[in-house]
Chains A and B, each alone.
Chain A
Amino acid sequence: MQDTGTSDAFVAFERVQKSYDGETLVVKDLNLSLPKGEFLTMLGPSGSGKTTCLMMLAGFETATHGEIKLDGVSINNIPPHKRGIGMVFQNYALFPHMTVAENLSFPLEVRKIGKSDREAKVKRALDMVEMGAFGGRRPAQLSGGQQQRIALARALVFEPELVLMDEPLGALDKQLREKMQFEITDLAHRLGITVVYVTHDQTEALTMSDRVAVFNDGRIQQLAPPDQLYEQPENSFVAQFIGENNTLEGTVAEIKGDHCVVKLDGGEVIDAKPVNVTKVGERTRVSIRPERVEYNKERLQEGAHTLKAKVLEFIYMGDIFRTRLEVAGNREFVIKTRNAPDQVRLTPGSEIEIGWLPEDCRALDAN
């Protein structure tokens, strides 16, 4: 969106639109550029246009409008097999009738690389993903995690500068997924390749990426590094999509610089940081992260507004406590506290007062 400096960009989308049926746009005016070596994740719910963007970049879909540039050159009219982009597919797409080594050798053969060279490269790629002993196996004889590694090795064996990954870890179990997340990022940084990664798993996006582009409704809602995305969401979609979030609805009563007062629908008044509200009287949705809610009054600022809350439920989760409250009519208001020796365990039914720092409470659009 704001990212328009395409001169030194390695990959660039310029005013790209895509429509399948000629009536609705799946991708609306996409502008995005990323420098060499970046790990960028496209995150969004299904149908948000992220996979379409990836497929346009790979060459399997053509942009209805706009230009896609790779290393400064428009690739709109270059067929996929000439783009030299590595790709890892959701279900790996390892060719079942070839052995692992043949799978890896395939991109080298079509590039007419000599046999001995080919074998060396295949061996190096297999060793890179610690699968050196599996060259003679068929994909069906490998576990999901092993297939994933082979798919990764195959996408990298011909040394592309750009690698696309379409939800590559979706089919793995949680533990393996976390291990692979680390391995993929590690490999990407070690080889210095540029990665565009598509996922709908926000944890994956936050842990792996240099920057995350949050997609919704065919547009990038926010493009930012993970920490910024989590702590400073720019609109209520991003705030709700990334991480757990409490929302309260109300009207802006007062704006003073980077501080505003919101009058909630139940009549209570709270402090917030105006993000995309501009004038008094505007409807707003304020968002507070569960771990930023404070019920120990001593930690609050002087003169901070507080709200009355009723404890509904207390859940022990090991490392944290999760407490569900009723706040200003919202019965799904959640707070999270660290399990520390001095931490108070709230009892259901008790009444408490909660508050927060104004900068942790962001007044966003009401949509």
Chain B
Amino acid sequence: MTASTDVPEKDADGPMLAADGTPLKKSLSRALRVQKLRALALIAPLLIFVLVTFIAPIADMLFRSVENQIVSDTMPKTTAALADWDGTGLPSDQVFEDAYYDLFVAAERKEHTRLGTRLNYEQTGASSLFRKSGRGLDDIGEVYQDQFEDLDENWDEAQPWAEMMGSEDWLAKEAAWEKGSRLPKFALRDGVEELLPRTAEQYEIFANYTHREEGDSLLDEEPWSAVHTALYQDLSTQDVSGYGGPHADMLKAAAALVASPDFQTVSFTDGFGEIDKDWLEPEIWRTLKLYAPKYTSGYFLNSVDMKLTPDGAEARPENERIYIMLFKRTLFMSLVITCSCILLGYPVAYILSNLPARKANLLMILVLLPFWTSLLVRTSAWKIMLQQQGVINDVLVWIGLVADDGRLTMINNQFGTIVAMTHILLPFMILPMYSVMSTIPHSYVRAAKSLGATDWTTFWRVYFPQSVPGIGAGSILVFILAIGYYITPEIVGGTTGTFISNRIAYHISTSLNWGLAAALGSILLAVVLLLYWAYDRIVGIDNVKLG
């Protein structure tokens, strides 16, 4: 050989170098990076689509299975106060006071019913209790509101309140406000926070609510009764004699009224008891304390027929258990459906793969024909076939195999679901089996026979082992489809043939308990992944082929 070569030179013990002297590894990875970027660019549209429309919603949904911020968001003061409560007897009046202010605002925002619905999942009756309380809380505040109003009309006017609570600067801006422009941010007058702490806090909450949610000027809106309640509390504890700001006379008169023995008061505990005596039971407070954290395991415990108690998780009573049974039934029925698909599909796939291509294609169309019909139509067709006055029962009665009064129940139970779903999922079994079987050369069968094997031995020792990857692929496909199937069990399942997915759908669309639905869905997902892992360990995922 005379041709000189530019083969990369290797230093005495350094790395392999490319022609231009850079390390070969580096220039290789640079060359590959361009390829990788191009590949990434090609899949980017689908990747983004899947991320936005599929992965993100699923992640959000899974997150809901532990999310529980609604309790602490709606009743921040109460949950904080309940942290110190030991859970025995009734909580202190302070807790009731916090609950009053929290719920008052929530009721104004119409959020108390949502919280009630949330807590109703954990304690029956919570929903109506909260709905009732939203209306009833006004009764507490009105006791004070009415007395102050009787003393001075101005206590139920917007302007004096605003002048007393707001800073001069803010008042000027608020007065100059015109509809359509931005409302100036409310600012407390200097010193009012020290003088009337509760009132200032409640008025500020009221001010922010009026500004943000109503879009009204504080000079036009008189405060709600919680502010009057706060004023009473402040006047009964604070000394306002040194106050010299706006409406000082009015405030001092009110302080005198509060100090007088005629002034009517009501304790928060009694007020709540007045609304509903359930508030005087410790149970609702225990539930509130239990579900105060931002994240909860409650939904997951619920999904496995357990519940959260102050002493940890414990099993639900026998008659309230449903989900474990549903999970077991779902797994069992999916398994039965997968097995029947294998038994029915294997011979079909075998025949298809051993026919000449032209005939096989024709028959393949017959296998695929169900795909051209709506799923609902196919399922409903089974309903017509299997029901007690249906085609099959009629035929059996006509032949005389079954007495007219002894017609078989084949629908609205497990049998109906298994029959209909086996039929619907069969193509998903046949297709992968067919594509694997059609790659098994016919010469293997001939070879086995020439070596002296009978037809059965040939099938069992030579053909079948090679078709196992097809069975594996079909089984995974059918099983995973079956485990999450919804429409067919919904229509033909009755009560004994429904799947866990039907329960999930119920919680999504009817009971609106999305947290529980998300927890059930997460468990289903985990079970599928677990089975997939087990399959990989036992059979090996390399043994799954789609052709």
Residues of A within 8 A of B (CB): 58-60, 79-87, 89-91, 93-97, 106-107, 110-111, 154-155, 158, 164
Contacts and interface: CB of A to CB of B under 8 A. Distances in A.
A90 B462 CA distance: 18
Given A79-B449, A86-B450, 20 more contacts: A59-B449, A59-B450, A60-B449, A80-B446, A81-B452, A83-B450, A84-B452, A87-B447, A93-B443, A95-B447, A95-B462, A97-B466, A106-B448, A106-B451, A106-B461, A107-B452, A110-B452, A110-B454, A158-B451, A164-B450
Contacts of A158: 451-452
A-B CB proximity, top 6 nearest: A107-B451, A93-B447, A87-B450, A93-B443, A80-B449, A97-B465
B444 A93 contact: yes
Contact of B453 (A87, A89, A90, A110): A110
A111 B452 contact: yes
Contacts of A90: 443
Please report whether the interface of chain B is mostly helix, strand, loop or mixed according to DSSP. helix
B450 A81 contact: yes
B45 interface: no
B238 interface: no
Nearest to B450: A87
Contacts of A110: 451-454, 457
Contacts of A60: 446, 449
Contacts of A111: 452
Contacts of A84: 452
Q: Which residue of A82, A85, A97, A111 has the most chain B CB atoms within 10 A of its CB atom? A: A97
A323 B285 CA distance: 111
Contacts of B317: none
8 contacts: A85-B450, A93-B441, A94-B447, A95-B444, A97-B466, A106-B453, A106-B461, A110-B453
A95 B443 CA distance: 10
A82 B461 CA distance: 17
B74 to A, nearest CB: 63
Contacts of A106: 448, 451, 453, 461
A99 B82 CA distance: 71
Nearest to A85: B450
A111 B20 CA distance: 66
Q: Which residue of B447, B448, B461, B465 has the most chain A CB atoms within 10 A of its CB atom? A: B447
A365 to B, nearest CB: 38
Contacts of A107: 451-453
A96 B293 CA distance: 59
A162 to B, nearest CB: 11
Contacts of B466: 95-97
B446 A81 contact: no
Contacts of B465: 97
A85 B449 CA distance: 10
Interface in B425-481: 441, 443-444, 446-455, 457-458, 461-462, 465-466
